[in-house]
Chains A and B, each alone.
Chain A
Amino acid sequence: MATKTKSKRIGSMELTQQAYQQKAAKYQPKRNVLLNCWRAFWVGGTICLLGQIIQNMYIYFFDFTEKTASNPTVATLIFLSVLLTGLGVYDNIGQYAGAGSAVPVTGFANSMASAAIEHRSEGYVLGVGANMFKLAGSVIVFGVVAAFIASLIKSVFQMIF
């Protein structure tokens, strides 16, 4: 890229942007990928384990089948996530766990609830309603597009073979 090699002046010093960025890089603490993976694994795993426990409870106590129990299970996890978001706890879990708390359905619920809380001050229509999907919106858009393409491929294959 042209801008990368451009030479700039810092006071009386000539320095290319690239040279500066190399100089700066040694002072930038790196994300600890291994530690982050471990934290994401155990927190994400625990959330999934919790989901399994909830599902088993619905099956055992409320006579749901394995298939029908999934909806109330997801709803319960979403409720818990929204509650923790409202109590100001979920962002702390997120800072610790990274993808571990972002990838499960609880992370999706958090992105919507946090945006809703944030924009409550601008009213229900222009605030909450308009901004609730600010972060989750792209998940829905690309999720739907990906699902459409996947089903299209599946249909074409079924027609041919």
Chain B
Amino acid sequence: MESQNPSARVSRQTWYFDQDVRLLSSAVVVGPKEGKGPLANYFDKIHSDLYAGQQTWEDAEKQLMADAIQILLKKAGIADKDVDVILAGDLLNQNITTNFTAEQLEIPLMGMYGACSTSMLTLATAASLVNAGYATRAIAACSSHNATAERQYRYPTEYGGQKPPTAQWTVTGAGAGLVGIGGSGPRITYATIGKVVDMGVKDPFDMGSAMAPAAASTLQTHFADTGRSPDSYDLIVTGDLASVGYPILKELMLAQGYDMDKVYNDCGLMVYPPDEADVLAGASGCASSAVVTYGYIVDQLNKGLLKKVLVCATGALLSPVSYQQGHSIPCIAHAVALEGGI
């Protein structure tokens, strides 16, 4: 059973935030395609141009992250000097989006990389720093851009190679959340840090199959550690398993006695309209879970329409080199529990 006052260290993987750690504010900025999706109303800014007014794709991604952080500060009514640390990451080599964006801010930076799990990696770490007292306010942020990710991991954007139906579409967007103690906003109660899981899937155009076991591992650990079950939550989302990984995860969870059916969704299936053919299996990228969490989920928690949500962001830790050298895809997932109205 769930204990009433767990200690901060619940297990090797699960942390309980015993202070009143809250997601004080959040902001989401997206590109044109996401802006036409079903969650458009929950986004703070929609760029109508994939270049976001910049000259290169990389500068465009930087603009998305910078916009998200500026909007976040504005919504929270604070200046950059009021934030102690920013934890952020992206998908580009040497985390350039994060590093170049932070250069414009007067905030100490911790750059992080967890592929598409970066959204919850940064949020969990931000919450732990705030809970422990090392930071009064911390920002967690991440971004991805369809064109920069294509270049980083696959082919030039205009290359006419055919993608298989298991492939996914990287979300163009950035999300940021402000973590602090007290005040209003959903409480951040638990975080479960994932282990790397590699089930031997080698196809970089099938991330859903590769990542589902990592998500199952983290979710099962989370339930075992906290004494909670899927029914403890109104909504459980994974980051970007999309239409292939989604049913696999359900089956893996059911095999261990966790029936996810009623509460489970995947951010990769929420960002774009269900009939959008060119996204193939669904959305992916750091921004997939970030725009859904910092946009839709936070809004629903604040309005009281959702009470308890578990976000399990999934990341495929491959590189083009590791794939070309014949290695399978190691994957990871980090989960954070958000609770409104307490």
Q: Establish whether residues A118 and B157, one from each chain, have CB atoms under 8 Å apart when the complex forms.
A: yes
- A107 lies within 8 A of chain B by Cβ: yes
Partner of B157, one of A107, A111, A114: A114
Binds A, one of B16-24, B132-140, B160-168, B182-190: B160-168
Chain B hits for A117, CB < 8 A: 156-158
- A27 lies within 8 A of chain B by Cβ: yes
Q: How far is the CB of B149 from chain A (nearest CB, A)?
A: 13
Complex CA gap A21/B219 in Å reads 20
Count, chain A residues at interface, CB 8 A: 48
- B199 lies within 8 A of chain A by Cβ: yes
How many cross-chain pairs have Cβ atoms below 8 Å apart between A and B?
129
- A45 lies within 8 A of chain B by Cβ: no
Chain A hits for B200, CB < 8 A: 3-4, 6, 17-18, 20-21
Chain A hits for B160, CB < 8 A: 85, 90-95, 101-102, 107, 110-111, 114
Chain B hits for A31, CB < 8 A: 164-165
- B305 lies within 8 A of chain A by Cβ: no
Q: Establish whether residues B159 and A17, one from each chain, have CB atoms under 8 Å apart when the complex forms.
A: no
Partner of A11, one of B156, B217, B328: B217
Q: How far is the CB of B77 from chain A (nearest CB, A)?
A: 37
- B321 lies within 8 A of chain A by Cβ: no
Q: Which residue of A lies closest to B166 (CB)?
A: A28
Binds A, one of B63-71, B89-97, B121-129, B246-254: B246-254
Q: Establish whether residues B252 and A110, one from each chain, have CB atoms under 8 Å apart when the complex forms.
A: no
Chain A hits for B165, CB < 8 A: 29-31
Which parts of B205-250 form the interface with A (CB within 8 Å)? 206, 209, 212-213, 216-217, 219-221, 224, 243-244, 247-248
Complex CA gap A10/B220 in Å reads 8
Q: Establish whether residues B244 and A27, one from each chain, have CB atoms under 8 Å apart when the complex forms.
A: yes
Among A9, A18, A29: residue with most chain B CB under 10 A: A29
Chain B hits for A92, CB < 8 A: 160, 278
Q: How far is the CB of A102 from chain B (nearest CB, A)?
A: 6
Q: Establish whether residues B199 and A94, one from each chain, have CB atoms under 8 Å apart when the complex forms.
A: no
Q: Establish whether residues B151 and A118, one from each chain, have CB atoms under 8 Å apart when the complex forms.
A: yes
Chain B hits for A111, CB < 8 A: 159-160
Chain A hits for B221, CB < 8 A: 11
Q: Which residue of A lies closest to B222 (CB)?
A: A11
- A137 lies within 8 A of chain B by Cβ: no
Complex CA gap A28/B156 in Å reads 25
Q: Which residue of A lies closest to B167 (CB)?
A: A95
Q: How far is the CB of B81 from chain A (nearest CB, A)?
A: 34
Chain B hits for A93, CB < 8 A: 160
Complex CA gap A118/B318 in Å reads 22
Q: Establish whether residues B158 and A85, one from each chain, have CB atoms under 8 Å apart when the complex forms.
A: yes
Chain B hits for A99, CB < 8 A: 162
Complex CA gap A36/B251 in Å reads 31
Q: Establish whether residues A29 and B199, one from each chain, have CB atoms under 8 Å apart when the complex forms.
A: no
Complex CA gap A31/B256 in Å reads 31
Say whether, besides A13-B256, A95-B162, A95-B163, A114 and B55 are in contact (CB < 8 Å). Answer: no
- A77 lies within 8 A of chain B by Cβ: no
Q: Establish whether residues B216 and A91, one from each chain, have CB atoms under 8 Å apart when the complex forms.
A: no
Partner of A118, one of B156, B213, B216, B224: B156
Instruction: List 23 A–B pairs whose Cβ atoms lie within 8 Å, in order of A's numbering.
Output: A3-B328, A8-B213, A10-B220, A13-B256, A15-B199, A18-B200, A20-B200, A24-B212, A24-B248, A28-B206, A29-B165, A91-B157, A94-B159, A94-B161, A94-B162, A101-B160, A110-B160, A111-B159, A111-B160, A114-B158, A114-B160, A117-B156, A117-B157
Q: Which residues of A contact B (CB under 8 A)?
A: 3-4, 6, 8-13, 15, 17-18, 20-21, 23-24, 27-31, 36, 85-86, 88, 90-95, 97-99, 101-102, 107, 110-111, 113-115, 117-119, 121, 134-135
Q: Which residues of B contact A (CB under 8 A)?
A: 55-58, 151, 155-166, 197-201, 206, 209, 212-213, 216-217, 219-221, 224, 243-244, 247-248, 251-252, 255-256, 278, 281, 328
